[in-house]
Amino acid sequence: MNSADAGLDEELSLSSVLYQAVRANIESGRLPPGTLLNEHRLARQLAVSRAPVSRMLQRLAADGVLVRLEQRGYRVPGAGSTAGAETPMLELPPDALEIVRGRAGWEKIWDQVESDLVACMPFGRFKINELAMAEHYGVSRTVTRDLIGRLEARNLIEKVGRSQRFLRELVPGLMSDLYEVRRLLEPTALKNAAPRLSKPRLEEMRADLLRGEAKYPNLTAPDIARYEDDLHVECTEACLNRPLIAALRQSQLPVLATNRLFQIYLGMPTLEPFLAEHRLVIELVLDNAPESAAVALDAHLRSAARKQQTRLRDLKAHHRPAVPPYVRQVGGCG
């Protein structure tokens, strides 16, 4: 098993541990009816990254243990209201606590590091200083070395020589390659996953997209992230071919993260059919037509690849990134 597969397996294992722990907390009443659960707050409380927490919450909602809210978040079903209250501290059994703590080092800073680095990718070539990263986040070199290794496994970082690490520059050629990989893998993953997708959850996704279409272009960055994650991540996560999913996630990560940058820096285009394209794919899965859904997804990715090339050029021409102190630009935009 390569490092990318190992990293994904660890995330999935942690997600399963958290699923059992949160479900037990709900059943015991520690998380009473009406309790609001937020991905960001739970990840912060547990000192883990948001990816396994997100998968855990999605699975609990699909199993009817939680109710997904219209806004980003979840609620324990039943009478009662704890709106505005802090999420109670979870009780974790010793074995679960050991697993969570074992990942706390690099996971504690993963989301921020990933966000900082991806925000620089469209703007040139950047060299990463591991010692400066450790000092910036107040962690040990062991933690940053582990984290950088995982970033390398996801092809976000390139190693040159024995010790130099460079952030991959998101040039038009790489953007094109990433979309080509996604078109080869993502429709297949969707077809494989379709029989195991929750129909109530798919109905929620469709309703959310319809609300988005109604209020377009007044969408926020979290809105865009939710629509992208629902279709491209959650709808493919049930694929049983785990090596395929590992390869797909590597090609998705820079593109999905950069899409959020487009919204922040460039705003929403006046006309943008991506919501309707997402909804078509969801509706075809709901209609038990996975082959047609895969064709619609391929068409959506083909269209997105063309549009994102234009937006990438606009982004590089008119904006500059907020560069974290542990990277130094060595090429690209001056």
Instruction: Evaluate whether 199 touches 261 at the Cβ level (below 8 Å).
Output: no
| Interval 262-269 mean pLDDT | 75
Position 181 scores a pLDDT of 96
CA angle 289, 294, 296 (to 5 degrees): 95
Number of domains present in the structure of the chain: 3
Question: What CATH number is attached to the domain comprising 268?
Answer: 1.20.120.530
My answer on whether 314 and 324 are in the same domain is: no
Pair 249, 203 in one domain: yes
Q: Do 184 and 298 sit in the same domain of this protein?
A: yes
Mean pLDDT of 75-96: 73
The predicted model gives 53-71 an average pLDDT of 84
How is the beta sheet containing 124-128 ordered, strand by strand? 157-160, 164-167, 124-128, 327-332
Is there a single domain that holds both residue 198 and residue 293?
yes
Residues 55 and 78 in one domain: yes
Last residue of a domain, one of 52, 81, 102: 102
Average pLDDT over the chain, rounded to an integer: 84
Same domain assignment for residues 139 and 80: no
Structural domain boundaries, residue 11 = 3-102
Same domain, 229 and 313: yes
Residues 314 and 176 in one domain: yes
The answer on 303 and 208 residing in a single domain is yes
Q: What is the mean pLDDT of residues 43-65?
A: 83
Q: Are residues 231 and 297 in the same domain?
A: yes
253 vs 7: which has the higher pLDDT: 253
Domain termination site, one of 81, 102, 123: 102
CATH of the domain at 57: 1.10.10.10
Q: Are residues 184 and 272 in the same domain?
A: yes
pLDDT for 288 equals 97
Residue 70 or residue 119, greater confidence: 119
Q: Report pLDDT digits (tens) over 200-247.
A: 889 989 999 999 999 988 887 778 888 988 999 889 988 989 889 888
User: Is the peptide bond preceding residue 93 cis, with omega within 30 degrees of 0?
Assistant: no
